[in-house]
Amino acid sequence: MIANRREFLIAGTAALLGGRMLRAEERARSTMGIVSHSYTIRNAMARARGNVGEIDASEFVKLCAERGAGGVQLDLGDPSDEDVKNLRTNLVEHDMYLELSATLPRNRTQVDDFNDKLFQLARSDQLSQFVIRTALLSGRRYEVFATASEFRAFKNQAYKSLSLVKPLLDNWRRNNSWRFKLAIENHKDFRTPELIELLERLDSPQIGVCIDTGNNLALLEDPMETIEALAPWAFSTHLKDMAVERYADGFLLSEVPLGQGFLDLPRIVRTLRRARPEINFNLEMITRDPLKIPYRTSKYWETMKDAPAQSVAHALDTVRDHLAKTPLPRVSNLSQEEKLKREDDNVRESLRYAREHLGMSA
């Protein structure tokens, strides 16, 4: 706890400087990585200062190393050879793994650019094998699409994009020593059976999933059922804990530090390790106001009319059984310095929990 104004200013300065002041108990190392979205507030401030993108990749690696993380998952953008060299150097120095986030090509003219980016990374000996996480939808299904036909068009485009990438990944696997696996995040777009149908249709050993442990609750699926069903395809994770609260049109859904929500994290970790012993666990702790899941509105159901009633009922029972006893955390009323500190504290606390309770101590 910060006892006085001086300590508050010191803590705030530490956050703004990238956390160079380390707490003694956090010098221990975790095998868990950090997703760049865990520092969304910091990234937004970087953009506000005139940076072209988010925090520089090499600086992000250093930040996560200081926090005691074992790896990173980030969007590298369009790196120069110097960017790749610096990133490789920092990963080696801190003994950290790399996973990338990337947007898939939508047509054949974009495939060459995607291939060139992979080749640029693969020329680096340290970046020749990794997971590429992708999201097929940037928004949320029940907010983006007004009709079932709009959702079907999106579904067709998603398959087209993945079909463009599939031969590229297969060719790299056959003809090079480089290995890239594509992990599709369950990103509040496809319900689990829909995503599995897509994976089976593609039928590629190089295409799997990045399991987000909380997202599909927004589509009225029980989190544990989603994780167990997708585990055989898991290449990566967004590990998070969730809390819920009632509101007029449905319920509010919020990421909270690991161990402070209702997800059975030890069971989740055991399930994924059993299915994929080599899998990386990446923390995605997004510090923000709770999301609205408006399942009581008609628009919510426009693209979800085929959702099985039993599955929906079970998910709603899960929500009702785990309603938070206190209001979910909000950050919109905080100052920028307070937001930065809250974000950093949430990441630190999650890393501590992973080390002490999930067997993720290096």
Domain ranges of the chain: 25-357
By three-state DSSP, how is residue 28 classified?
coil
User: Nearest CA to 140 among 310, 329, 303?
Assistant: 303
Q: CA angle, corner 40, sides to 38 and 45, nearest 5?
A: 140
Per-residue pLDDT, 151: 97
341 token code pair: 């500190």
Mean pLDDT by 10 residues, the chain (362 residues): 35 41 62 97 81 73 97 88 88 94 91 84 68 95 97 97 92 74 97 98 96 98 98 98 98 98 98 97 98 98 96 97 97 96 98 98 93
Count of CA atoms in the C-beta half-sphere (13 A) of 324:
21
Q: Are 64 and 74 in contact (CB under 8 A)?
A: no
User: Nearest CA to 348 among 68, 36, 57?
Assistant: 68
Specify the amino acid at residue 307.
A
Per-residue pLDDT, 27: 64
Helix axes 223-230, 309-321, angle to 10 degrees: 120
Expressed in percent and rounded to 5, the helix, strand and coil fractions of the chain are: 50, 15, 35
List of residues 6+ apart from 264 with CB closer than 8 A: 224
By three-state DSSP, how is residue 42 classified?
helix
**CATH assignment, 25-357:** 3.20.20.150
For residues 192 and 28, what is the distance between their CA atoms, to the nearest angstrom?
Answer: 36
For residues 89 and 83, what is the distance between their CA atoms, to the nearest angstrom?
Answer: 10
